[in-house]
Amino acid sequence: MSFDLLAEPIRRYVRDQRWESLRPIQAAAIQHILATDDNYILASRTASGKTEAAFLPILSKVDFRQPGVRVLYISPLIALINDQFHRIEQLCKYLEVRVTKWHGEASRAEKKKLVQQPEGIVLITPESLEAMFVNAPYSVSALFAQLQYVVIDEIHSFLGTDRGIHLKSLLSRLEAVTVARSFAVVGLSATIGDYAEAKRFTGHEDRTKVLLDRASKEMLTSFRYFPATEAGGDLPLSLLKDLYKQTSNSKVLIFPNSRGLAEVIAVKLRQIADRVGGHDKYFSHHSSVDKEVREYVEHFAKHNQRQPFCIACTSTLELGIDIGSVEKVVQVDAAHSIASLIQRVGRSGRRDGEQSQLLLYATKPWSLLQSLACWLLYREGFVEPLRTATQPYDLLLHQALSTVKQLSGCPEAELVARLHANAAFSTIAPAQTAGILAELLRIGWLERIGQEVIIGVEGEYVVSSRDFYSVFKTEPAFKVQHAGKTIGEIPLTPQVKENENLLLAARIWKIKYIDEKAKKIEVMPAHDGKKPIFLGGGGVVDARIRTKMLELLSHPSQHPELDEASQEALRELRQEFAGFTLSDTAHQRPVLVKEGKLVLFTFTGTRINRSLVFLLNCLDAPVTYAYQEEDSSFTLALTPAQLPGLVEQLRLFAIDVYGYLEVAVRENPGLLDFAKWGASLPVTCQCGVLKERYFDFEGTADFLQNTLLVFSQLPQAASFTDGFQEGV
C-alpha cells in the first residue's frame, strides 16, 4: 500500500488531514518516486492533488538533515508560489523542513538567511533564478550544490514556449553547479497535449516517465448565442442580461479573450446587479490589475463559503491558484486553444462530488463554430501538439550574455562549449553560435580581451536592466492611482486623456491628471467609462480546429448543447456552404466565385495563413487580395482558371523562401517583435527564427500541394467578403 511507504511524519500529516484515501495520482507517484531516481511527469485533472503527489514521496525520501537546498520548486507565477507556499509549508512542518520563497516580492531577510545557511526547499520563478545566475552566481553554487529534486508546477505552461526554452537552459546550467551533476525532475500538469515533448523538456528523455490519471469529471455544457450589434467590440446588452441571469446566484469565473472585455463584463454586471438589488461581489482579475487587488480577489474567493461572486478574468486564473469552489465557468467567444479551454473548464467543480458547469457564449457565427469545434475536439481528447523551437537563436543569445556575466568573463571556446552542452541549444550548429557571438562583439554587447570575452560597455546596460531576466516582452505602462493606492497599470494610448473615463479593476474612473515623467495616472471614481486599450495580438489557432469547423459545416450533425439561437446561427452558416460538395474535409477546400473575385476558405491554422499572406506579398506580379482571420478566407482578384496556377506559384515560393525573408527582415525589423532578443541577431538567424516560430512554410507547401479546390457560386454568401483589409 502506498501510504505505508511514506515516512512516519508524512503519514501523520495524511491522518491529520482526515483523508479517507490517497488520490490515484498520489498513490502512483509515491510508489514510483520512492522506488527510482527517474524524472516523472504527473498528469491529472485540476484539483486532483498533484502537489501532494510530488511532495509526499519526495519529503519521505530526501534527507533534509544534510546541508544545502535539497528541493527546488519552480512556478510560472509569483501568485502561484505565494499560494503553494502555505500548502507546502504546512506539510513540511511535520518534518521541520524550512521552506523559503525566492522572488522579487519575497523577504530579503529570509533570502539572506538562506544563503548563510542553505537548507530545505526553495520556491522560485525562472526569472528569479535567472537573476540569481546574473547577479549572485556564488549564491547559485552555495544554495544548489546538493540539489536532489526540481518540481516544476504547471509544466504545460512552459512547453513549446520561449519561456520554456529559457527554463530548460536554466535547468541545464543548474545541473552543472550540482555536485552530482544531476537531479530528478518532477513536472505537474493538468493539460499536456504532447507527452513526448514533456519528457524531452527535462533534458533526459530516456529516464523520464509519465504517470497519467485519465479520470475526468462530468461536465454540464451549454452554448448561448447573442449576435453582436454594437460598434467597438462591446458585448450586446441582451448577452449581458442573460449572463447576469445565468450567474447571479453562483460562484463564477468568466473568461473573455481580452483584459478590456474583462473590465466591461465586470462593470456592466455590477451595474445590472445594482439596478435589480443583486450582490456586489463583481471583480476583474488580469495582469494589468494591481497585485494587491488581485490578491484580495483570490483571498476572498478562496475563503468565501456561501456568497455568490463573479470574477471576469484572463489567463491569470487559468493556472492552479487555489480560489476555492467555483460552480460555473463562462467562456465568452472562442478560446484560442483547446489547451486553454481545458485549463479554464478545470476551474469549476474542483471539490469531490461537484459537477463542472461550462457556459459558452458567442457573438458571431464563426466564433460559435470555432467554440463548438474546440469543445468537440476536447471531448475527443485532442489537445494541440506542441511546436518547440529547435533553432532558438535569440534565446541562445540571451543565455550567452547571462553565462558571460555569471562567470565574469570566460574564454570564448569555453563559452561555446557551455552553450553546446546546454540541452536547450543542442540542435544549434556551431557555425550559427559563432555567428551570434560575432554579432554580439560587433554591437558591443560582448568585448574580447585576449582569448576571453567579457560583457561590453553596451552590454552592461542590457544585462544590468531588470528587463534582462525575462525572455518575454512587457508593454510599457503607467500606474493608475487613486488617493495614494495603486489600482493597476495601463498603456498610454491616445484614448488616455485627462477628464476621460476608463474601466479598471471592475470600477469606473475619471482621469484627473497624467504625470508622464513619473508614468502615473491619478483618477477618481466616476459613473461611466470605456475599457482601456491594451496591446497584444490574438492567439494562434491550430489547423485541426479549423478542419473540425469545416467538418461541422459539411455534415448535418446535431448538438444538443446548443440553444435555439446557436442552432439557428449554425444552420444559416451551413446553408451558406450548402452549394459545396465536400466529401474529404482533410484535403478539399471551398472556393466561392463572386462578382469577378474568388473567396478561398483555407480552413487551416494561423501560421499557415500568415505564410500565405507573406507569400502573396512576394509575388512578382501582384495579386490584389484581402485576408480575414475569423473565417480564414482569402478574397482574390482572379478567375477560377487562374487560381491553380497561383497555388502552384505560392507552393514553389514556400519551398525557396529564404531570399524573400531576408529582404523582408531588412525592410521591416518589426517582423521580429514577437521575439524579445530577435532584433539583435544576425540577419540569417532572424530569418531562421521567423521561419520556425512565426511562419510555417513547410506546412504551407504541403497544404498547397495536397489541397483540392471545390468551386461553387452562391449569391447568399456575399457577407463573407465584408470587412476585409485590402492587401497587394
**Is residue 726 within a helix (H) or strand (E), and if so which, with residue range?**
strand 725-727
Same structural domain for residues 27 and 139?
A: yes
CATH number at residue 236: 3.40.50.300
Going by their DSSP bridges, the two strands 121-124 and 149-152 should be labelled as: unpaired
The total of structural domains in the chain comes to 5
Is 386 inside a domain boundary? no
The torsion angle over the Cα atoms of residues 667, 669, 670 and 671, rounded to 10 degrees, is: 80
Residue whose entry in the numeric block shows the C-alpha cell 515623467: 517
Same structural domain for residues 224 and 363?
A: yes
* Domain limit, last residue, from 469, 488, 511: 469
Going by their DSSP bridges, the two strands 633-636 and 708-712 should be labelled as: unpaired
Determine the pLDDT at residue 725: 35
Which residues of the chain are modeled with pLDDT < 50? 714-728
Is 384 inside a domain boundary? no
Same structural domain for residues 97 and 117?
A: yes
Same structural domain for residues 152 and 79?
A: yes
- Give the Cα separation of 611 and 699 in Å (integer): 9
CA 609 to chain centroid: 21
Same structural domain for residues 137 and 208?
A: yes
* Domain limit, last residue, from 451, 469, 487: 469
- Angle at the Cα of 678 (from 677 to 679), degrees rounded to 5? 100
DSSP codes, 205-225: GGGEEEEE------EEEEEEE
Is 557 inside a domain boundary? no
User: Residue 682's CB: how many other CB atoms inside 10 A?
Assistant: 17
Same structural domain for residues 142 and 166?
A: yes
Return the DSSP state at 258.
S
- Give the Cα separation of 345 and 340 in Å (integer): 9
Whether pTM exceeds 0.85: yes
| Whether the Cβ atoms of residue 531 and residue 489 lie closer than 8 Å to each other | no
Is 277 inside a domain boundary? yes
Same structural domain for residues 324 and 358?
A: yes
- Give the Cα separation of 372 and 557 in Å (integer): 12
Same structural domain for residues 183 and 156?
A: yes
Residue whose entry in the numeric block shows the C-alpha cell 556575466: 405
Give the range of the structural domain holding residue 643, as residue numbers without chain letter: 577-727
Determine the pLDDT at residue 348: 75
Same structural domain for residues 15 and 134?
A: yes
- Give the Cα separation of 280 and 274 in Å (integer): 7
Same structural domain for residues 247 and 208?
A: no
Same structural domain for residues 490 and 588?
A: no
- Give the Cα separation of 542 and 341 in Å (integer): 13
DSSP codes, 130-197: HHHHHH-HHHHHHHHTT--EEEETTGGGTTTSHHHHHHHHHHHHHHHHSTTS--EEEEEES--S-HHH
| Whether the Cβ atoms of residue 247 and residue 276 lie closer than 8 Å to each other | no
- Give the Cα separation of 694 and 614 in Å (integer): 11
Tell me the C-alpha to C-alpha distance, in Å, between residue 627 and each of 63, 606, 644.
61, 12, 18
Determine the pLDDT at residue 97: 93
Q: Residue 156: which of 396, 285, 318 has the closest Cα?
A: 318
Is 632 inside a domain boundary? yes
Is 570 inside a domain boundary? no
Exposed/middle/buried for residue 330 (C-beta within 10 Å: 0-12, 13-18, 19+): buried
Determine the pLDDT at residue 723: 32
Same structural domain for residues 64 and 136?
A: yes
Q: Which residues contact 651 (CB under 8 A, 6 or more apart)?
A: 700, 701, 704, 705
CATH number at residue 413: 1.10.10.10
- Give the Cα separation of 343 and 515 in Å (integer): 39
* Domain limit, last residue, from 425, 441, 469: 469
User: Residue 163's CB: how many other CB atoms inside 10 A?
Assistant: 19
Is 548 inside a domain boundary? no
Tell me the C-alpha to C-alpha distance, in Å, between residue 566 and each of 149, 230, 362, 367, 369.
50, 19, 8, 11, 9
DSSP codes, 589-602: EEEEEETTEEEEE-
- Angle at the Cα of 559 (from 554 to 561), degrees rounded to 5? 145
Quote the cell numbers at residue 663: 529582404
**Is residue 340 within a helix (H) or strand (E), and if so which, with residue range?**
helix 338-345
Tell me the C-alpha to C-alpha distance, in Å, between residue 493 and each of 231, 490, 670, 722.
19, 9, 19, 28
Q: Which residues contact 28 (CB under 8 A, 6 or more apart)?
A: 2, 53, 211, 213
Is 278 inside a domain boundary? yes
